[in-house]
Chains A and B, each alone.
Chain A
Amino acid sequence: MPLPIPTPDPKQVVLQTEDWIEYRTGFPTLVRKFLFRKVPPTGWFHTLGSSLLTVFILQAVTGSLLAMTYDPSPNGAYQSIRYITDQQSLGWLLRGMHKWGASMMVILLFLHMARVFFYGAYKYPRELTWLTGSLIFILTMMMGLTGYLLVWDERAYWASVVAVNINGTAPVLGPFISKFLLAGPVFGAQTISRFYALHMLLIPGAIGALIFVHMWLVVKLGVTPWPTRPLPEPEPSAIPAAHRAMPETVAGE
Chain B
Amino acid sequence: MADRTRGEFLSLTSVGLGAMIGGVIGVPATAYMLAPVTKEVTFTPVFLGKMSAFPSEANDPNKFKPTPATYIEDPSNPATSPGLAFVHNTGKSSTDWHSEDAMFVVFSNRCMHLGCPIAANSSGFACPCHGGQYDTNGERTAGPPIRSLDRFQWEIKNGDELWITQRWSTDIYGGQVRYYPVKMPGQPTHTPGPSWIPDVLYPHVTYTHGPVPGPVPLPPAPKV
Which residues of B in the span 123-153 have a Cβ within 8 Å of any Cβ on A?
129
Within 8 A of B (CB), among A159-210: 161-162, 164-166, 168-169, 171-172, 174-176, 178-180, 182-192
| Interface residue from B34, B36, B40, B200 paired with A182 (Cβ < 8 Å) | B36
A20 within 8 A of B: no
Which residue of B33, B80, B205 is within 8 Å of A74 (Cβ)?
B80
Instruction: Assess whether A212 is interfacial by the CB under 8 Å rule.
Output: no
- Inter-chain contact A186/B73, CB cutoff 8 Å: yes
Contact A185 B205 (CB under 8 A): yes
**Contact A168–B186 (Cβ < 8 Å):** yes
Shortest beta-carbon distance, B131 to chain A, in Å?
14
Interface contact B201-A166, CB-CB below 8 Å = no
From A162, which residue of chain B is reached at the shortest CB distance? B114
B76, B81, B114, B129 interface centre (most CB from chain A within 10 Å): B114
A158 within 8 A of B: yes
Contact of A161 among B74, B116, B204, B207 (CB under 8 A): B116
Contact B116 A175 (CB under 8 A): no
Tell me if A168 and B80 are in contact (CB < 8 A): no
Q: Is B37 an interface residue (CB 8 A)?
A: yes
Q: Which of B40, B41, B117, B183 contacts A158 (CB 8 A)?
A: B117
- Roughly how many angstroms separate A146 CA and B183 CA in the complex, as a whole number? 23
- Known: A74-B77, A168-B187, A169-B187. Contact between A184 and B116, CB under 8 A? no
A25 on the B face (CB < 8 A): no
Is A168's CB under 8 angstroms from B205's CB? no
A165 to B185, CA, bound (A): 6
Q: With both chains docked as a complex, state the minimum distance between the C-beta of B135 and any C-beta of chain A, in angstroms.
A: 22
Interface of B is mostly: loop
The answer to the question of A75 belonging to the interface, with a C-beta cut-off of 8 Å to chain B, is yes
Does the CB pair B202–A180 fall under 8 Å?
no
* CA–CA, A155 and B76, complex, Å: 23
Q: Which residue of B lies closest to A163 (CB)?
A: B114
B residues near A166, Cβ cutoff 8 Å: 114, 186
Contact between A168 and B184 (Cβ–Cβ < 8 Å)? yes
Alpha-carbon separation in the docked complex, A24 to B109 (Å): 65
Partner of B37, one of A74, A180, A189: A180
Q: A185 near B33 (CB under 8 angstroms)? A: no
- Contact call B184/A187, Cβ cutoff below 8 A: no
Would you call A75 and B79 a contact (CB within 8 A)? yes
Contact (Cβ within 8 A) B201 A179: no
Q: Are B81 and A186 in contact, with the CB atoms below 8 A?
A: yes
Residues of A within 8 A of B116 (CB): 158, 161-162
In the assembled complex, the Cα of A82 lies from the Cα of B61 at a distance in Å of: 47
Of A171, A174, A191, the contact of B80 (CB 8 Å cutoff): A191
Bound complex: CA A191 to CA B77 (Å): 11
Which one of A75, A175, A187, A188 lies within 8 Å of B203 (CB-CB)?
Answer: A175
Contacts of B67 in A (CB 8 A): none
B41 touches A175 (CB 8 A): no
Excluding A161-B114, A165-B184, 6 further A-B contacts by CB distance (< 8 Å) are A75-B79, A168-B184, A175-B183, A175-B202, A184-B41, A186-B73
Between-chain CB contacts (< 8 Å), 20 pairs: A161-B116, A162-B115, A162-B129, A165-B114, A165-B186, A166-B114, A168-B187, A168-B202, A169-B186, A169-B187, A171-B201, A172-B200, A176-B203, A180-B34, A184-B39, A185-B41, A186-B41, A186-B73, A188-B74, A192-B80
